[in-house]
Amino acid sequence: MGTLLGDLSMVKKLTSMWKERLSEWSGGSGSLREAAPHEYEEAASMAVFRIVGMTCSACAGSVERAIKRLPGIHEAAVDALNNRAQILFYPCFVNEEKIRETIEDIGFEASLIENERAKQACRIRINGMTCTSCSSTVERALESVNGVERAHVALAIEEAEIHYDPSLVSSEKLLEAIENAGFEAILISTRMGEDVSKISLKIDGEFTDESITIIKRSLEAIHGVQNVEINHGTDKISVLYNPDVTGPRNFIRVIESTVFGNNGHIKATIFAEGGVGRDSQNQGEIKQYYKSFLWSLVFTAPVFLTAMVFMYIPGVKNMLMFKVVNMLNVGEIIRWVLATPVQFFIGWRFYIGSYKALRRGSANMDVLVALGTNAAYFYSLYTVLRAATSPDFMGVDFFETSAMLISFIILGKYLEVLARGKTSEAIAKLMNLAPETAILLNLDNEGRVTGEEEIDGRLIQKNDVIKIIPGAKVASDGYVIWGQSHVNESMITGEARPVAKRKGDTVIGGTLNENGVLHVKVTRVGSESALAQIVGLVESAQLAKAPVQKLADQISKFFVPLVIFASLSTWLAWFLAGKLHWYPESWIPSSMVSFELALQFGISVMVIACPCALGLATPTAVMVGTGVGASQGVLIKGGLALERAHKVTCIAFDKTGTLTMGKPVVVKTKILNSMAIGDFYEIVAATEVVNSEHPLAKAIVEYAKIFKEDQENPAWPEARDFVSITGNGVKATVRGIKVMVGNKKLMCDHGVSIPDDAEELLAEAEEMAQTGILVSINGELVGFVAVSDPLKPIAREAISILKSMNIVSIMVTGDNWGTANSIAREVGIDSVFAEAKPDQKAEKVKELQAMGHVVAMVGDGINDSPALVAADVGMAIGAGTDIAIEAADIVLMKSNLEDVITAIDLSRKTFSRIRLNYVWALGYNLMGIPIAAGVLFPYTRFRLPPWIAGAAMAASSVSVVCCSLLLKNYKRPKMLDNLEICEIQVERV
């Protein structure tokens, strides 16, 4: 359910419309018309109430209708899941107390929530993070800002998502906090709320400050615009607006219709956020590292050759050993000259990173690299100066160590960024699904097409009618108003087979129209569209941290200082051992002294122990896993959901819409008196139409249309005093007679006698897994209706496969015991919990958790939401309600039970890969550090030179990312491919 408008400035734009309503109430009298507009503007107010006692959407609907009947109510939205109501009203007609009394009059408890603030969220790209220590530092810096509710920083994608109170802190302050921590910050997007959109426009032409002010005022005057921001000194205008009311095409029309003297027209287009996108940023980073590596190779290759190769070639060796000054030779000068630009120009990034890290009181990978390379370089510089000033100094330089170390680390970062870019390919593919252009149809008052034009796809607005030709992508979400075709929705839902579309069917933006022409009326645009929500969901999932990642975060806090300590300890131990002659001099290579040998061991330890791979182990696997899930129609909301899903031992299934198709149909009717069937269904439909959100009610109303002449828009008698009795049925007064429609318990509770033939009909329905519904008029039972909801095609097979995976399946349903047991027998479920209200479903989940189970709940309705939240993992069927999807941890887009198995199997495979990543990351360190420290040297004379240690450190990060990338080859369990989809047939009596 959408939330109410969060910004009260919207009220000022609605004043003119409101005054028209006031004049209608006043019967056209002039008193209200003549009132000053500001009286109503100042009176507008918003109230938020907490409501206790709502159990389903019918309750929420009753509350909403009661509130809207009050005078002075502009809008009201009731959320049954969160037990809240938001009301926009005018106190000159109604106050909070009157609203509260109205809610309580219809049977619910209500209390006013004071100081309700709208929260905002923004995403920020962060440049300069090198390891998990950096991401933890940024996270702490953001969370310390007053007004920040929570912050998630993802090293793998170098982004942060921050939820904050806009009344206490702004996005500019958040950017400032990140930059003060030593990193570059770029604002990607700000999310204002479900009912607010933001767009940036670029203006071209000759304009002045005065003309910009006129444009600003013109835009602010548009109905639905909440705020207009002008970026002074630029050609950018940002507009905050309600997409239900207006859109970007209107803004461009207003701007371009504004003429300023002789300057002519101003041209407006949608502002291109060049360079800010993740893909362009990643490509820029790849090019930067590639260029740096090539330059480092140009200088490092000769350094390596003069130190390691040419010294063994007669003739060339003599030339390199030629003394220039005292003991300083040509080879040392060449290595010094070539290594210096690598150390101070190409390696400058490590100095900058080290300075920023140390300034904020922490240490990261840059600190380790800077310390290691500087130790090698400046010791080598010392040997050069000593050789130039001493006639008998015999020293060895390590210029090749520092140059090769920097080159290998830059190569490793290049390969890492290259691989990391592939982990987010799923998002890039999803974002590219939206077509760049759309065909907009112009219609006359009678709905006839009068013309068409091709427009930018970003200019589509709600209620537009667009034309989708064969082979083209659907430009936006909507429903078909003309034509028929087949649409391939596999790119969104993962469903391979094309779906037939005809008048009234919904279509999803980004899907492919295959063979027919469709006219589609747009219902959702921008951030509201299914594609945008899926992209947002996957992005949020990649930003969210899995609990297992906390291990890496905790290790990183202490790892770098410990590495520095271990490095210094290694150098000191070998240096003292050499000075005190604790090992034979024959151990020391002929070209070195004991100090140089100790220095190499110390540098190797410092470099090989960098924790980069540790920080990438979890997020890269989660990124690939969630991306693969999205491509298969399984939307996983982050690492926490993945981690919990792989531990699931018990799954609780709802029945209607989950195990069954969720589209009940009337299969049998029995009139128990002489009433005509048309009259019978007219009264029953009139009673149930108020409750038409319920699947059983919808089935009865649809069936009743058969007995009406106008089956498209039938007129039903008015139902008064409607009451929904959760889990039992409904009652109302229709044409002066009291009608009850519901189960046996409802009739018994109200003293309605149930004859034997009705009991037999109920028993027969239960045996056939049908729902038996009784109808009484004025306290007498008059009819019986049997409703059948067919099982989903592979329900039995899915439950069988789950058993083979050692997962217990149970059924938790609000339906009667007989129907529930019959369905359970058909699918192979042994444990059933029937006639359960929403809170009882949640209690059952908690009971299973108390028994030691890790519980997943699979459901599709509002009444499943409490259980979805209570479960360790909530799985919502994609065709279910928005509230159920919002409450769930995993959304199954195809509404297929086989995707429950896919979700659990994918989570198990992903966490298996995370464990393997930790083996790679920790294995490099646990094995590499002792070897680098010289543990094997006394026995094998094997030592790890610093440049090889640097290569090993770079290889660890690359191997972890590549290990995660192997998840892209994930295939769902083979047993699912062998399932046969049978045709469902429903027989009506």
Query: Looking at the annotation, which residues are catalytic?
Result: 654
Measure CA 322 to chain center.
65
DSSP assignment, residue 230? Answer: E
Alpha-carbon gap, residue 897 to 966, rounded angstroms: 26
Q: Beginning with the edge strand found earlier in the chain, give each strand of the sheet holding 780-788 in spatial order.
A: 665-671, 780-788, 770-777, 737-742, 729-734, 719-725
Contact 666, 944 (CB under 8 A): no
CA angle 155/161/421 to nearest 5° reads 40
| Pairing state between β 518-524 and 465-468 | antiparallel
Q: Backbone phi, then psi, for 113, in 5-degree steps?
A: -95, 120
The H or E element spanning position 601 is helix 594-608
Alpha-carbon gap, residue 72 to 63, rounded angstroms: 16
CA separation, residue 495 to residues 488, 489, 512 (Å): 8, 6, 12
Q: Backbone phi, then psi, for 892, in 5-degree steps?
A: -100, 100
Which residue shows structure tokens 């100081």? 115
Alpha-carbon gap, residue 214 to 826, rounded angstroms: 70
Q: Under 8 Å CB-to-CB from 697, ≥6 apart: which residues?
A: 688, 689, 691, 730
Which residue shows structure tokens 């969370």? 143
Alpha-carbon gap, residue 422 to 261, rounded angstroms: 53
With 0-12 / 13-18 / 19 or more C-beta atoms within 10 angstroms meaning exposed / middle / buried, residue 747 is buried
Of 458, 420, 423, which Cα lies nearest the Cα of 438?
A: 458
Contact 643, 903 (CB under 8 A): no
Alpha-carbon gap, residue 343 to 379, rounded angstroms: 13
- Retrieve residue 404's tokens: 């090769």
Helix locations, 793-897, DSSP H: 795-804, 817-827, 838-850, 865-870, 882-887
Three-class SS of 711-766: CCCCCCCCEEEEEEECCCEEEEEECCEEEEEECHHHHHHCCCCCCHHHHHHHHHHH
DSSP assignment, residue 795? Answer: H
**How many residues are recorded in the chain?**
989
| Element counts in the chain: helices (H) and strands (E) | 36, 36
DSSP assignment, residue 5? Answer: P
